[in-house]
Structure 1
C-alpha cells in the first residue's frame, strides 16, 4: 500500500494567496512600469466576478498585464526562484513544516497539488524537500514563457483528474494507495470526496461547514497564530 499526503498550496500551506503576489513581485523585478497597468484589469475582474470570464482566462490576463505575453526563461526563472525563497522565509505557516515531518515519519510520500503555476511551485517544493508537484503547467515556446495556460487550470475537478493521472504515471493503482488530502477550499470538493482521508486546513466558511457536517478533521493554523 502506497501512503500519500497531498497538499494544496494557497492558504493551506501559505499564509496568503501566491499568484497575484508572484505577479507583482515579478513585475517589480522585471518591468516595474507594468505595475501601472494593473488597474486595466478591472473589466476582467468584473467579468470573472460575474462568471462571464473563466478562472483560466483571468489568470492569463493577469499574467499578460504583469509580465507581458513573452518573457525569457533565464529572467523569469530567476525571479520565480527568488520568490519561492521568500515564501519559505516568511510566507508558509510554521506548522506546515512540522506536519511534513510527521507525514514523512509515517512513511507517506508528500505531493503538492495546486492551481498555482509550476514556474514557482517547483522551486518552492524543492526548498520544502518535496519531490512531487502537480500544478498548472506553464506554456513555453522554446526558452520563452508565454502568458497562455496550455492546459486546464489545475483547479476544482481538474485537480482531481490531474492527481489521478499522476498516480497512473507513477504506476500507483488507486486501490493500492491510501491518500490523505489537505486543502482550505470547497473548490477542492472533488478531490476531498475521492481520497481516503480529507483534512480541512485553515478552511473557508463553505469548507468549514462541509467539514463539520461530514465529520472531517480540521486544522486551523490561523487560530494558533492569533493566539501566539
Structure 2
C-alpha cells in the first residue's frame, strides 16, 4: 500500500505565513518602487477581512500590485529560489524538517499541499526534498508569462481536498489503495484532516485545537 504524508505549508512547516513576505521579496528584487504600493495591498487585505473579496481575489490584487501584470517564468523562478533560500534559513520549524525526514525514512512519501502559489511553494518544498506539490496555480499568457489571475481553484479549505483528489486521479491512485497522514495548523483544513487516516493538528490555533480534542486527533507542537 502506498503511504502519503501530506503537509500544509504556512505555519505548519514554516513558522510564519509566506505570501506577503514573498511579495515584498519580489518587489525588492525586481522593482523596489513597488514597495510604495504596500498600503494598497494592505487595503485589499482589509477588504478581504471585511468579506468584500475572497482569498483568490486578494491574491490576484496583491500579485498585480507587487509583482506586476505578467512576469517571465524564468525571472519568477529566480525570485522564488532566493526567497526559498531565505525561508529555509529563517522560517522553517526544525521539528518540521525532522518529521519530514522521519516519515520518509519510515516509508511515507512526502507531499506538500498548500494554498500558497506553486511558483514559490515548489522552491520551498525542494529545500525539504519534497517533489510533489499541490498548490494554487497562476494563469499564464500565450507566451508562458505568469499572470496575476488564478488558474483553477485557490487551494484552500474544501478546495484543497478536491485538488488532492484530482492529483490522485492523475496519478491513478484509488483512495482505498493508499494510507494518508495529513499535517495542518488551521481549521480550514478540517476537510482534509477528516479524510486522512492519520490526522495531525500541528501548532494548532484555537479553533483547530478544539476540533482536534473533539475528534481525537493527535496534536503536535513543533519548535524552531
In the superposition, the TM-score normalised over structure 2's length comes to 0.96
| Runs of 4+ residues over 3 Å off in structure 1 | none
Structure 1 SS opposite 2:195: coil
Cα distance, 1:45 vs structure 2 = 2.1
User: Where do residues 31-42 of structure 1 align in structure 2 (5 Å cutoff)?
Assistant: 31-42=31-42
Instruction: Pick which of 180-189 and 131-140 moved more.
Output: 131-140
Q: Distance in 1 between matches of 2:153 and 2:162?
A: 10
Q: Distance in 2 between matches of 1:24 and 1:121?
A: 16
Cα distance, 1:47 vs structure 2 = 2.0
Counterpart for residue 201 of structure 1: 202
Q: Distance in 1 between matches of 2:64 and 2:220?
A: 36
Q: Distance in 2 between matches of 1:85 and 1:143?
A: 25
Q: Gapped runs of 5+ residues in structure 2?
A: none
Structure 1 SS opposite 2:130: coil
Measured against aligned partners, the alpha-carbon deviations of 1:4-56 in whole angstroms (never above 9, x if no partner) come to 10000000000110011100001001010001011123442222112120110
Cα distance, 1:74 vs structure 2 = 2.4
Cα distance, 1:143 vs structure 2 = 3.4
Structure 2 SS opposite 1:17: coil
**Is 1:137 the counterpart of 2:106 in the alignment?**
no
Structure 1 SS opposite 2:176: helix
How many residues align structurally?
Answer: 223
Cα distance, 1:98 vs structure 2 = 1.1
Counterpart for residue 12 of structure 1: 12
In the superposition, the TM-score normalised over structure 1's length comes to 0.94
**Is 1:86 the counterpart of 2:86 in the alignment?**
yes
Q: Distance in 2 between matches of 1:78 and 1:105?
A: 31
Q: Distance in 2 between matches of 1:167 and 1:45?
A: 33
Cα distance, 1:215 vs structure 2 = 1.3
Cα distance, 1:144 vs structure 2 = 1.5
**Is 1:164 the counterpart of 2:165 in the alignment?**
yes
User: Where do residues 52-67 of structure 1 align in structure 2 (5 Å cutoff)?
Assistant: 52-67=52-67
Counterpart for residue 220 of structure 1: 221
Structure 2 SS opposite 1:193: helix
Q: Distance in 2 between matches of 1:166 and 1:143?
A: 22
Counterpart for residue 183 of structure 2: 182
User: Where do residues 93-108 of structure 1 align in structure 2 (5 Å cutoff)?
Assistant: 93-108=93-108
Structure 2 SS opposite 1:102: helix
Measured against aligned partners, the alpha-carbon deviations of 1:136-184 in whole angstroms (never above 9, x if no partner) come to 1122222321111121100000000011111111111101111010000
